[in-house]
């Protein structure tokens, strides 16, 4: 476990996960097989709005017809399965990298990075719920009703978790930058250093 944490917090893991995420966003997200498949013919989608009601979830599911249903499921269990893993890995590496340098060996450095796992988990839960709902549409009872309620919870939870991961990464790297500036200012003004 210690070796895994050392790897996840390494500059190599941070750079590699960042490049994978950037490549995914630049080359995969715009693909019609991905972006086009998650939006119904009437323009409705589960993934793109912050929230919706159970009734709206049923309406969105019913908007997918015929081949759209198969394309929706295929997109969510190929590209949209890989995407949460890509951004989840980046956030985990970014938080671990920053915390290991800000508070090495601390409890925060050991525990806080694992909070980033929530975002991809909620995203995958949303994908599963939406896939079941679309597959069963226009049904509104039983498993379809459960999937609609699950999607209604998972979607805003995903967005909140993703926003928290992003904000956390910005704050942590800002703190790293501020510390580096303080050290540079201290070394420039200390004994034997240059003075303004």
Per-run averaged pLDDT (10 residues), the chain, 196 residues: 83 97 92 79 80 94 89 90 95 96 91 95 95 94 97 97 97 94 76 49
Tokens (6 digits) for 42: 């009437």
Model pLDDT, residue 189: 63
Which residues does 48 contact at the CB level (< 8 Å), separation at least 6?
38, 39
Note the helical H segments in the chain. 2-8, 11-23, 54-63, 67-76, 79-102, 107-111, 118-136, 143-189
Q: pTM score, two decimals?
A: 0.88
Name the one residue in this structure whose structure tokens are 């909620």. 122
Model pLDDT, residue 66: 84
Model pLDDT, residue 115: 95
Model pLDDT, residue 1: 63
Model pLDDT, residue 195: 44
């Amino acid at each position: 476990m210690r070796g895994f944490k050392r790897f996840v917090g390494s500059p190599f893991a941070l750079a590699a996960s960042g490049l994978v995420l950037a490549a995914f966003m630049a080359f995969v997200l715009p693909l019609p097989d991905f972006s086009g498949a998650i939006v119904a013919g009437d323009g409705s989608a589960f993934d793109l709005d912050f929230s919706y009601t159970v009734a709206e979830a049923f309406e969105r599911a019913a908007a997918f017809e015929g081949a759209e249903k198969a394309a929706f499921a295929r997109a969510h269990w190929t590209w949209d399965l890989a995407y949460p893993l890509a951004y989840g890995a980046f956030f985990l590496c970014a938080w671990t990298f920053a915390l290991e340098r800000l508070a090495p060996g601390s409890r925060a450095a050991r525990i806080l990075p694992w909070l980033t796992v929530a975002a991809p988990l909620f995203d995958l839960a949303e994908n599963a719920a939406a896939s079941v709902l679309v597959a069963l549409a226009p049904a509104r009872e039983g498993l379809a009703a459960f999937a609609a309620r699950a999607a209604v919870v998972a979607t805003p939870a995903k967005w909140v978790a993703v926003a928290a991961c992003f904000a956390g990464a910005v704050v942590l790297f800002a703190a790293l930058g501020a510390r580096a500036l303080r050290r540079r200012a201290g070394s420039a003004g200390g004994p034997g250093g240059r003075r303004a």
